Each structure stands twice: as structure tokens, then as C-alpha cells.
Amino acid sequence: MAYLDDLKYDADGLVTVIVTDAASRAVLMVAHMNREAVRRTVETGNVTYWSRSRQQFWVKGATSGNVQGVVSLRRDCDGDALLLEVEQTGAACHEGYRSCFSRKLAGGEWEVTEERLCDPY
């Protein structure tokens, strides 16, 4: 699996992943993958991340139903970041928003710019 060797993982063995909606091109979230998470994602077509806080694999949507289907996976020229285009079902954000980037700075305050799709709590 040469594609795994072409990536430059950081000191913790992780590569940053920028996730976009394949249809709208909206940025949904930023996460991390280790070598095994990249392999699982490519082989299954279901996105697997590495949770830095829980120190375990995290299959997007496994418990919430808000799954991400892989449309394409790209790497940057340095191989130290990935761009993942997905078909997003439901919310990408763990707070129930479509995107994790649902807050915009306006007048010195963070303003929520999206409606919550679900109550994750």
C-alpha cells in the first residue's frame, strides 16, 4: 500500500484531514487520521478518524447515524495533509450543526450562522 507510505505523519503518527461536502464544497470539519485510519477509510469507503482525546478509532456516524461516504481523497503536495470529499448524511459537527465551522466573527463576537440539525445531547 504505497499510498500510505507517501504521507508524512507528524510526531504522533497523524495527518490532518480537511473534510468538505462533495456537492457544495463547504468545509465540514477538520480531523486527524493515522496510517490505519487512512487504510480503513480507503478500504471500506466509510470514514474512520483517530480521536486524539479518546486515543481510539472513530468511525464517523457509527453511533449518531451522521455518516460520511467517501467521494474522493486527495493529498497536498507535501503529503502532510489530506482533503476528504464526502457525501454527508446529517450533521458533521458533534454539536449537531451541518459544519463544525458554524460560527462567524461579527462585531467582536462569535455568531452562530447555521441551524442545528439535531440535538446531540
Distance CA 85, CA 22 (A): 5
Residue 11 within any structural domain of the chain: yes
Give the tens place of pLDDT for each residue, 2-25. Answer: 999 999 999 999 999 999 999 999
Question: How many separate domains does the chain show?
Answer: 1
Domain encompassing residue 19: 2-112
Residue 86 within any structural domain of the chain: yes
Residue 117 within any structural domain of the chain: no
Give the tens place of pLDDT for each residue, 73-107. Answer: 999 999 999 999 999 999 999 999 999 999 999 99
Residue 42 within any structural domain of the chain: yes
Go through 96-115 and write b for each residue having 16 or more CB atoms within 10 A of its CB, e for each that does not.
bbbbbbbeeeeeeeeeeeee
Other Cβ atoms less than 10 A from the Cβ of 52: the count is 13
Residue 71 within any structural domain of the chain: yes
Distance CA 62, CA 76 (A): 28
Residue 30 within any structural domain of the chain: yes
CATH number of the domain residue 108 falls in:
3.10.20.810
